[in-house]
Structure 1
């Protein structure tokens, strides 16, 4: 019966469902996936937006720039394990909005290098270092880490620019983007933790970052 219902009826039904249910339905058949998975359909985006507003008790921000409602709902309410290894321990996991990834501390560290390594081994200048997105909330307090895949992408962008004056413009724009990303991360991080964690869990997560600082200080 559901496979023959008019789209108008399905849209009305879907608007009452939790984001997790919408994700499950998107895997049922091509018809549902077509309706629920379009990144450009205003109807599809409205379905997910309505679900988000209905099931998240706190007011939420609109999705970050260039992020669909589907991805936003997934990061806010659905994902609960490391996207790389499947780790499920809540105290070992963190959302990194600046890279749009949800992963455990170990997997993050495996994919990052320190500021010292960038300067000494990669020979990245201070000017270019300011154009690289730092992990804003590292697993341990005061770590200065950078995601390798993001480093490669950013440095490739820079070296593809031949004209010196255009490189200078790119550097200014990139540094401005990084500053905006820091502000965005703080906003979305606070929202995510309010939605996902209790007060006691938030305190414990903060303590965990400081507790093992000495153990990992050699990475800084």
Structure 2
């Protein structure tokens, strides 16, 4: 079976190229050109896509070294995925830039997202434990971002982890949890330098982003506890203004004070009739 070219043996020169020669040719190409090759034909996609192929990984590694000189991508990430996130993608992978926000790579979640799309997909540890009633053991192996020891998780990670935990024999859970914690410790140590590199390259925006992310998650926490629409809190003056603290990063007492002020301001508005009870 096959098309006429295959029957006659008259394959296009590119498809007749041995993989070793293809690798040599690709060593002169940039990551942009490799991504362009992916769209040329199925044969090129076959050679450039497999994440377990040593040949494929070496092609992408050789191509990205002049642009991304780090020796290896984060643990468990293929060379192609690394190049895609760190070099090739410039817009949010969820909205494709349609929401008009600058994007960044969140290495813990292995995504490039704008602020809006990130906030749609994250949840605080506080809310997971107190509102969703997720057992602590479920979170043992899940990556997170931490803003002043306030941990934030990727929502899509929660359901499969909870399913795995809940369907396990209870006596097996301690060993499972310990193994997950060890893996997570290594994972977080590995990505720390990626996050720090980003932080020092875009220091001002990084701090602003952290404040907005934590404020938004804390508002969700407060709204869940008070059984109100979080949008009522997001409309408050305190939410929109910069956090009032002497230096960055804020101390936990600064965040605690901000939380109390948010609740007080909302209750004051309720008392004055600005929102429906």
The TM-score normalised by the length of structure 2 is: 0.65
Tell me: CA distance 1:90–1:15, structure 2 relative to 1, closer, same or farther (3 Å). Answer: farther
Aligned to 1:152: 159
CA deviation profile, 1:33-77 (whole Å, cap 9, x unmatched): 122222233222211111111333xx3031233322111111121
Q: CA RMSD, aligned part only?
A: 2.9
4+ runs deviating over 4 angstroms: 88-91, 210-215
Aligned to 2:97: 87
Secondary structure of the residue aligned to 2:134 is coil
Tell me: CA distance 1:186–1:89, structure 2 relative to 1, closer, same or farther (3 Å). Answer: farther
Aligned to 1:178: 184
Aligned to 1:55: 67
Which 5+ residue runs of structure 1 have no aligned equivalent? Answer: none
Tell me: CA distance 1:90–1:204, structure 2 relative to 1, closer, same or farther (3 Å). Answer: farther
* Counterpart check, 1:76 vs 2:77: no
Using the TM superposition, give the Cα deviation of residue 2 of structure 1 relative to its aligned residue in structure 2, in angstroms. 5.6
1:78 and 1:63 map into 2 onto residues whose CA distance is: 14
Using the TM superposition, give the Cα deviation of residue 215 of structure 1 relative to its aligned residue in structure 2, in angstroms. 5.1
Using the TM superposition, give the Cα deviation of residue 115 of structure 1 relative to its aligned residue in structure 2, in angstroms. 2.5
Aligned to 1:110: 120
Equivalent pair of 2:108/2:144 in contact (CA under 8 Å)? yes
Secondary structure of the residue aligned to 1:62 is coil
1:91 and 1:4 map into 2 onto residues whose CA distance is: 41
Equivalent pair of 2:85/2:112 in contact (CA under 8 Å)? yes
Secondary structure of the residue aligned to 1:144 is strand
Aligned to 1:98: 108
Residue pairs, 1:129-208, within 5 angstroms: 130-131=139-140, 133=142, 135-136=144-145, 144-162=151-169, 164-191=170-197, 193=198, 202-208=202-208
Equivalent pair of 1:142/1:213 in contact (CA under 8 Å)? no
CA deviation profile, 1:162-182 (whole Å, cap 9, x unmatched): 1x3211101111222222222
Equivalent pair of 2:138/2:165 in contact (CA under 8 Å)? no
Equivalent pair of 2:145/2:153 in contact (CA under 8 Å)? no
Tell me: CA distance 1:47–1:210, structure 2 relative to 1, closer, same or farther (3 Å). Answer: closer
Highest RCO, 1 vs 2 (Cα 8 Å, sep ≥ 6): 1
Which 5+ residue runs of structure 2 have no aligned equivalent? Answer: 1-11, 222-277
Secondary structure of the residue aligned to 1:55 is coil
The structure having more radius of gyration, on CA atoms, is 2
The count of corresponding residues between Structure 1 and Structure 2 is: 208
Equivalent pair of 1:96/1:137 in contact (CA under 8 Å)? no
